[in-house]
């Protein structure tokens, strides 16, 4: 048994925490928000802003921490990389590698150098007839600060740049070709630079155009494209000397072409791990934590291929939560509440109401459910009657 520090208290890290406990460890969790899920329910919670490296280092020494595990956000992983400056913790990449992966401009430059397919970087002078373009902070997350500029709105480029800078901790941004197509994620576990097991998930954004809220595992993804993605992962593993563990990539597919959009090494949020486990029967969360606690991956074969949809219930505008009214019968596999009645819920991505896992018994039934969810027709969120006077302008779409 070892003392382990999980650097995240968000609800999405609960499966990570539970897995570490099942493996027999004492798990401390650290974060600044005592209202977060793990902060409220874990006895070994330490209220510390983990961006304060000195405080975290003091905690590691005080609690005799042997291993550190990042949670489900980029900042958590970057803090782990900084704590691992001397290489004492397994499964954590160097700060240089972490910066290359997490900084959008650095990753685009790296990808271009090694012939990985990514959208073209553009300078304001290079845009010319290349429309539409997308403006992004180089180091923000969850779709914050992103703007799509059409040719008819080209005069708004400076406004988009200012907005991107506002959300960037380094006050820098990129302009790139806006590639359009279907969004997917490729989640791969690597060991010694080779992909041992991977998953393809189809992703959609319904409440916010830059925030994934609806997804499902795809079992019929092009095998030819999957082989290319695996080769991309092997290239990244070799050129960046990646540690064993998860390589999670978002990509856009159009026809036979695809572009890598973002790569992370931390566990995706909104209980992505549970979508994989409920759909395929494989141990995603456990394989995620194993590399950080010096254990080999446990690749257990499974013949399961269940029809499971993950949907984050959220809204495009601020609201006061009253209730959720469903308009269609659902087989609810799991519903994880995040907000309570009477809470002010901010617009996506800042606010979430619940994460819904629903299932179906047939492909036709599942497709109908999935399409209705994409059209935002399976439920509506009603504001609290007692708060209606303050939100009289609020209407449900």
pLDDT at 304 over 90: no
pLDDT at position 386 is 44
pLDDT band at 387 (very low <50, low <70, confident <90, very high): very low
> pTM for the whole thing?
0.92
Q: What is the CATH number of the domain that holds 192?
A: 3.30.470.20
Q: What is the CATH number of the domain that holds 163?
A: 3.30.1490.20
pLDDT at 382 over 90: no
Q: Tell me how crowded residue 317 is: count the other CB atoms within 10 A of its CB.
A: 16
- Cα separation of 307 and 219, whole Å? 10
> Does residue 265 share a domain with residue 315?
no
Mean pLDDT of 75-96: 96
> Does residue 237 share a domain with residue 289?
yes
pLDDT at position 395 is 36
Residues 239 and 247 sit within 8 Å (Cβ to Cβ): no
pLDDT at position 138 is 86
Residues 269 and 338 sit within 8 Å (Cβ to Cβ): no
How many domains in the chain? 4
149 or 234, higher pLDDT: 234
Residues of the chain with pLDDT > 70, as a percent, come to 95
Which letter does DSSP use for residue 43 in this model? T
Across the chain, mean pLDDT equals 92
pLDDT band at 233 (very low <50, low <70, confident <90, very high): very high
How does pLDDT run across 167-185, given as a tens digit for each residue? 888 888 888 988 999 999 9
Mean pLDDT of 302-328: 92
Q: Tell me how crowded residue 375 is: count the other CB atoms within 10 A of its CB.
A: 9
**Token duo for residue 316:** 């495009």
3-class secondary structure, 148: strand
How does pLDDT run across 249-284, given as a tens digit for each residue? 999 999 999 999 999 999 999 999 999 999 999 999
3-class secondary structure, 100: helix
In a domain, 159, yes or no: yes
How does pLDDT run across 120-170, given as a tens digit for each residue? 888 777 776 678 888 989 887 777 888 888 877 767 888 888 888 888 888
> Does residue 283 share a domain with residue 214?
yes
Domain that holds residue 24: 3-93
Phi, psi of 158 (to 5 degrees): -65, -35
> Does residue 261 share a domain with residue 200?
yes
- Cα separation of 115 and 109, whole Å? 10
How does pLDDT run across 332-365, given as a tens digit for each residue? 999 999 999 999 999 998 899 999 999 999 999 9
Among the candidates 293, 316, 351, a domain finishes at 293
Q: What is the CATH number of the domain that holds 87?
A: 3.40.50.20
pLDDT at position 396 is 35
Q: Tell me how crowded residue 226 is: count the other CB atoms within 10 A of its CB.
A: 15
């Amino acid at each position: 048994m070892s003392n382990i520090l999980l650097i995240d208290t968000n609800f999405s890290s609960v499966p990570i925490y539970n897995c570490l406990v099942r493996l027999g460890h004492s798990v401390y969790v650290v974060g600044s928000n005592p209202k977060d899920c793990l902060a409220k329910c874990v006895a070994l919670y330490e209220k510390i802003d983990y961006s304060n490296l000195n405080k975290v280092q003091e905690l590691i020494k005080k609690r005799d921490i042997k291993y550190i595990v990042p949670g489900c956000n980029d900042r958590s992983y970057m803090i782990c990389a900084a704590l691992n400056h001397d290489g004492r913790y397994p499964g954590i990449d160097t700060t240089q590698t972490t910066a290359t992966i997490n900084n959008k401009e650095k990753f685009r430059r790296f990808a271009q150098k090694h012939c990985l397919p990514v959208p073209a970087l553009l300078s304001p002078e290079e845009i010319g007839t290349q429309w539409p373009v997308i403006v992004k902070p180089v180091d923000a997350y969850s779709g914050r600060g992103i703007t799509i500029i059409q040719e008819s709105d080209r005069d708004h480029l400076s406004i988009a740049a200012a907005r991107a800078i506002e959300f960037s901790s380094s006050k820098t941004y990129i302009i790139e070709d806006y590639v359009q197509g279907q969004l997917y994620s490729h989640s791969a576990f690597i060991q010694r630079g080779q992909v041992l097991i991977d998953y393809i998930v189809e992703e959609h954004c319904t409440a916010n155009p830059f925030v994934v809220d609806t997804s499902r595992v795809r079992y019929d993804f092009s095998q030819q494209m999957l082989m290319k993605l695996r080769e991309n992962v092997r290239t990244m593993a070799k050129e960046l000397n990646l540690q064993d563990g998860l390589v999670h990539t978002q990509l856009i597919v159009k026809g036979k072409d695809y572009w890598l959009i973002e790569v992370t090494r931390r566990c995706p949020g909104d209980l992505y791990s549970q979508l994989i486990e409920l759909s395929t029967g494989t141990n995603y969360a456990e394989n995620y934590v194993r590399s950080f606690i010096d254990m080999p991956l446990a690749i257990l074969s499974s013949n399961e291929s269940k029809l499971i949809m993950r949907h984050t219930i959220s809204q495009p505008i601020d609201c006061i939560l009253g209730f959720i009214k469903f308009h269609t019968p659902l087989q609810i596999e799991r519903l994880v509440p995040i907000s309570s009645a009477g809470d002010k819920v901010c617009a996506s991505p800042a606010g979430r109401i619940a994460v819904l896992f629903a299932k179906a018994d047939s492909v036709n039934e599942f497709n109908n459910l999935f399409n209705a969810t994409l059209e935002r027709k399976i439920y509506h969120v009603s504001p609290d009657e007692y708060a209606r006077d303050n939100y009289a302008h609020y209407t449900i779409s």
